[in-house]
Chains A and B, each alone.
Chain A
Amino acid sequence: MGIIGAGSGVAPEKFESRLRSKDLLGIEELDAGEIQMILNTADSLKEVAHHPIKKVPALRGRTVVNLFYEPSTRTRTSFELAALRLSADVVNIDVPTSSVSKGETLLDTARTLEAMSVDVIVMRHASSGAPHSLARHLKSSVVNAGDGQHEHPTQALLDLYTVREKFGSVEGKTITLVGDILHSRVAHSNLFAFTKLGAKVRFCGPPTLVPSELSALGAEVYYDLKEALTGADIVYVLRLQFERHRMGFLPSVRGYVKEYGITPERIKWANPDALVMHPGPMNRGIEISHDAADSPQSVIVAQVANGIAIRMAVLYLLETSRMREGQ
């Protein structure tokens, strides 16, 4: 699957590649065709990790800047490896959040980077919409690596890819996301991604973190974990942020774990071959138990590997579009 062998009966000219926008700011703006194209491209790029030389020259001489206003070792490393494997040059800028006040430097940052002829800016920021305002001012491509509580598109894409890899397709499957949906950009992006490819999305968690208005966006809202997991093909566990407890959204962390923590026993409520997923990093013993995280149904490690392939696909597609435009 994914490897199109010789003589597959499809004329080669059929494989068109074009993302409509110069940026990847969110899943909401992508159509199902573009999503499939990214997943298919990731298929081919995934193997580069298994070549003796883990590099292809496709993005040679292009510059990718990781502009991270929020710390994140794993996402940043994933993007960095993706760029390096495409032979691009990578620059990492970690902006400590404490010194950036009011974000008034964002516009100036944009201008500075443009002056340095950077090709791609991968950006993570605490404010929803920050990559959008950057993208408006720049000719370079902007990839959203997570903006506030809005979206984390490459995470959703790698999640789709992982499900597709295991089940063959996403259509008709039911995915239940458990946890702090309200503040989770991963949950938002996955809602858009999975519904666009024909899956059913369920949200489950405490009412303060899972407002019922979410059903207006196309998800089924549950407050009972057993009901939410019955019939689910994918159990997607979100990280619990302890600040939420401090801010009064949760009466207690222990109470949350008791009601919504994912354990092997609870995984059994879902379909027999259900996948267990987590965007990482995990709080083992909190939202997900040790045994659940390491269960044979867990594909959490696969998600990480797929993350690099997806990010390579995104960089490849965005950059080859721009090259075609003569940039």
Chain B
Amino acid sequence: MSAVVFRGGRVISPGSGLDGVMDLEVRDGLIAAFGDKVSDRGAEVVGVAGLVVSPGLVDMHVHLREPGEESKETVGTGTRAAAKGGVTSVACMPNTAPPLDTPATVLYLLGRVAKEGVVRVFPVGCVSQERKGEVLADLSALREAGVVAVSDDGDCVMNSLLAKRAMIYAKLLNIPIIEHAMDKDLADGGVVHEGRVSLTLGLAGVSPLAEEVVIARDLLLAEETGAHLHIAHLSTMRSVQMVRDAKHRGIRVTCEVTPHHLMLTDEAVKGFDTCAKVNPPLRDERSRRALVEGVLDGTIDAIASDHAPHGATDKDVEFNHAAFGVVGLETLLAVSLKVLGNAPGDLPRILARMTSAPARILGLDSGRLEVGRAADLTVFDEKEEFTFDSRTLVSKSRNTPFNGRTLKGRVVHTMVGGRFAVRDGSLQ
């Protein structure tokens, strides 16, 4: 196979504590050497001076829409979008049609990935059969088929007994259970954050309590069962505090936040822009700042896009009828760096949230640059600011709230297993 030497970049591997300007050698799909141990014998030399070389980004919350909603996205288009955004590993959610609640569907998906995927895809299986929240799915069979976690994402597991049992099994199977914390009754059909903006726009609001009440319950269940609880897309100030306290008490909880929750508030909804309609909703400035603080102090482990493609049929309708969700694979890095990447020492910490931390949560082999590991890496310019144009998206859907906004960080190369998926900013 081939060999590539990346010359002169700032190599950062947060999981291994590596951060310095050095060369990196990739050979036969694996990382072969760093720094002065690098040999460029028979290798293609790629100059990356002034750029950052990091482990390939790991986005642990993505909706690929296959099977069932291929008009919005497919494994092919979704993984290409991932590569464009510098993401080399993706964990995809099971709320497909049919959902990933049986081994057969999981294996079907993995077959599609083998055929069309350009980055690594790790499926998340359902907690309950058909995601109805009534009867447990066959979690061990799902594990055998290859799921790395279970979740009923899109919905919350409302039945507390079911949630408890799911956690017991998840612990047994040594996989995390990912909770979409949103109490359906408290949410009461809300479509935006309950606050000044919802009152002004006359839209039903979602109280922060709808999220916090579920987190409170799940933390108690996790403490009791010893399961690894992972809370998806955190959105409120109190949620961050609850996780912080729980970690201090030694509960096995991890959590993630989306880039859009880090950058935007409910003001983005003004004008009834459905491209800012997400679940959980964008909250107020106080919450946003608490989320940013949570990422910087480590309370929030991972940044994950919750990439949720929707077409015009689902978004170009009345606000309360519009589907929830925004795409995010291609803007994961650029939005995160724009919001967080201001102090020079921050970069390794921020990268950890998108590499080593999500990899560790899901038990993946990715997220680190170490000799002998698969050569999944992302090379990017961390300083370049640009105005984002949604027309440049390669995803099949264009529902993004960032159109026209200034973002920071441009992906130059994306390498998966030693092969370029993106080179000089273009898909290969």
A touches B in complex, CB < 8 A: yes
Binding site for B on A (CB under 8 A): 28, 102-104, 106-107, 125, 127-130, 132-133, 147-151, 185, 188, 211, 213-214, 216-217
Could you say which of B26-34, B198-206, B348-356 contacts chain A?
Answer: B198-206
Per-residue interface assignment for chain B, residues 286 to 320, with 1 indicating a CB less than 8 Å from any chain A CB and 0 otherwise:
00000000000000000000000000110011111
Contact A106:B202 (CB < 8 A) given known A132-B272, A213-B195, A217-B196: no
Asked if A104 contacts B202 (CB within 8 A), the reply is no
Q: Is residue B17 within 8 Å, beta carbon to beta carbon, of the partner chain?
A: no
A128/B202 in contact, CB under 8 A: yes
A102 to B321, Cβ gap below 8 A?
yes
CB distance from A313 to the nearest CB of B (A): 24
Contact of B200 among A28, A102, A107, A133 (CB under 8 A): A28
Whether A129 contacts B272 in the complex (CB less than 8 A), given A103-B321, A104-B317, comes out as yes
Chain B window 188-200, contacts with chain A (Cβ cutoff 8 Å), 1 for yes, 0 for no: 0000000110011
CA distance A129 to B272 in the complex (A): 6
A188 to B195, CA, bound (A): 15
Cα distance A151–B313 in the bound complex, in angstroms: 25
The smallest beta-carbon distance between B305 and chain A, in angstroms, is 26
Knowing A216-B196, A217-B196, the reply to whether A102 touches B317 (Cβ < 8 A) is yes
The answer to whether residues A107 and B317 also contact, given A128-B272, A129-B272, A132-B271 and a CB cut-off of 8 A, is yes
Interface bits B313-347 vs A (CB < 8 Å: 1, else 0): 10011111100000000000000000000000000
Q: Do A151 and B202 contact each other (CB < 8 Å), given the known contacts A106-B317, A106-B318, A107-B316?
A: yes
Q: Which bucket holds chain B's interface residue count?
A: 10 to 19
In the complex, chain B residues whose CB is within 8 Å of the CB of A129: 201-203, 272, 318-320
28 contacts between A and B (CB under 8 A): A28-B200, A102-B317, A102-B321, A103-B318, A107-B312, A107-B316, A107-B317, A127-B319, A128-B319, A129-B202, A129-B272, A129-B318, A129-B320, A130-B318, A132-B271, A132-B272, A148-B202, A148-B320, A149-B203, A150-B201, A150-B202, A150-B203, A151-B202, A185-B202, A213-B199, A216-B199, A217-B196, A217-B200
Residues of the B chain whose Cβ atoms lie less than 8 Å from the Cβ of A188: 199-200, 202
Task: Decide if A214 touches B199 in the complex (CB within 8 Å).
Answer: yes
Chain A residues closer than 8 Å to B195, beta-carbon distance: 213
Contacts of A149 in B (CB 8 A): 202-204
Task: Assess whether A127 is in contact with B199, with CB atoms less than 8 Å apart.
Answer: no
In contact, A127 and B201 (Cβ under 8 angstroms): no
Q: Main secondary structure on chain A at its contact with chain B?
A: mixed
Q: How far is the CA of A150 from the CA of B191 in the complex (A)?
A: 14
Task: Name, among B195, B199, B312, B321, the residue most crowded by chain A CB atoms within 10 Å (CB to CB).
Answer: B199
Residue numbers in A under 8 Å from B316 (CB-CB): 107, 133
Q: Give chain A residues whose Cβ lies under 8 Å from the Cβ of B319.
A: 127-130, 133
Closest CB of chain A to B298's CB: distance in Å?
33
Point out which of B195, B317, B318 has the most chain A C-beta atoms below 10 A from its C-beta.
B318
Most buried by A among B196, B272, B316: B272
> Distance (Å) between the CB of B403 and the closest chain A CB?
15
Q: Which residue of B lies closest to A248 (CB)?
A: B188
5 nearest CB pairs, A to B:
A150-B202, A129-B272, A127-B318, A149-B202, A128-B202
Which residues of B lie under 8 Å from residue A102 when comparing CB positions? 317, 321
A205 to B171, CA, bound (A): 51
What's the nearest-Cβ distance from chain A to residue B255, in Å?
Answer: 28
> How far apart are B319's CB and chain A's nearest CB, in angstroms?
4
Question: B-side interface residues toward A, CB under 8 Å?
Answer: 195-196, 199-204, 271-272, 312-313, 316-321
A residues less than 8 Å from B204 (CB atoms): 149
The distance from the CB of B354 to the nearest CB of chain A, in whole angstroms, is: 34
Query: How far is it, in angstroms, between the C-alpha of A217 and the C-alpha of B197 when the chains are bound?
Result: 9
CA distance A148 to B203 in the complex (A): 8
Residues of A within 8 A of B200 (CB): 28, 188, 217
Among residues of A, the one whose C-beta sits closest to the C-beta of B313 is A104
Determine the chain A residues whose CB is within 8 A of the CB of B312 once the complex forms.
107
CB distance from A143 to the nearest CB of B (A): 17
B317:A103 contact, CB within 8 angstroms? yes
Shortest Cβ gap from A83 to chain B (Å): 25
* CA–CA, A234 and B196, complex, Å: 26
- Tell whether A127 pairs with B196 under 8 Å between CB atoms, given A132-B272, A149-B203: no
- Chain B residues whose C-beta falls within 8 Å of the C-beta of A103 in the assembled complex: 317-318, 321
How far, in angstroms, from A216 to B199 measured CA to CA in the complex? 10
Interface centre among A129, A132, A148, A150 (most CB of B within 10 A): A129
* Distance, CA A149 to CA B312, complexed state (A): 24
In the assembled complex, the Cα of A127 lies from the Cα of B317 at a distance in Å of 10
Give min CB distance, A210 to chain B, whole Å. 11
Considering only CB atoms, which chain A residue lies closest to B272 in the complex? A129
A111 to chain B, nearest CB (A): 11
Instruction: Return chain B residues, CB-CB under 8 Å to A217.
Output: 196, 199-200
In-complex Cβ contact of B202 among A147, A211, A213, A216 (8 A): A147
Among A28, A107, A151, A213, which residue has its beta carbon within 8 angstroms of that of B196?
A: A213
Q: Which residues of A contact B317 (CB under 8 A)?
A: 102-104, 106-107, 133
Q: Which residues of A contact B272 (CB under 8 A)?
A: 128-129, 132-133
Bound CA span A102–B322, Å: 8
How far, in Å, is A130 (CB) from chain B's closest CB? 5
> Which residues on A sit within 8 Å (CB–CB) of B321?
102-104, 127
The complex places the Cα of A132 from the Cα of B319 at a distance, in Å, of 10
Identify the closest chain B residue to A216 (Cβ). Answer: B196
Chain B residues with CB below 8 A from A133, complex form: 272, 316-319
List, in ascending order, chain A residues with CB within 8 A of B201's CB: 128-129, 150
The smallest beta-carbon distance between B283 and chain A, in angstroms, is 14
What residue in chain B is nearest A185 (Cβ atoms)? B202
- Pair A211/B199 contact, Cβ less than 8 Å: yes
When chains A and B are docked, how far (Å) is the Cα of A185 from the Cα of B201?
A: 10
Q: Which residues of B contact A128 (CB under 8 A)?
A: 201-203, 272, 318-320
B196: chain A residues at CB < 8 Å are: 213, 216-217
Residue of A nearest to B196 (CB): A216
CA distance A217 to B202 in the complex (A): 12
Cα A106 to Cα B322 with chains together (Å): 12
Q: Which residues of A contact B318 (CB under 8 A)?
A: 103, 106, 125, 127-130, 133
CB-based nearest A residue for B320: A127
With a CB–CB cut-off of 8 A, which chain B residues contact A106? 317-318
Distance of A197 Cα from B289 Cα, bound (Å): 36
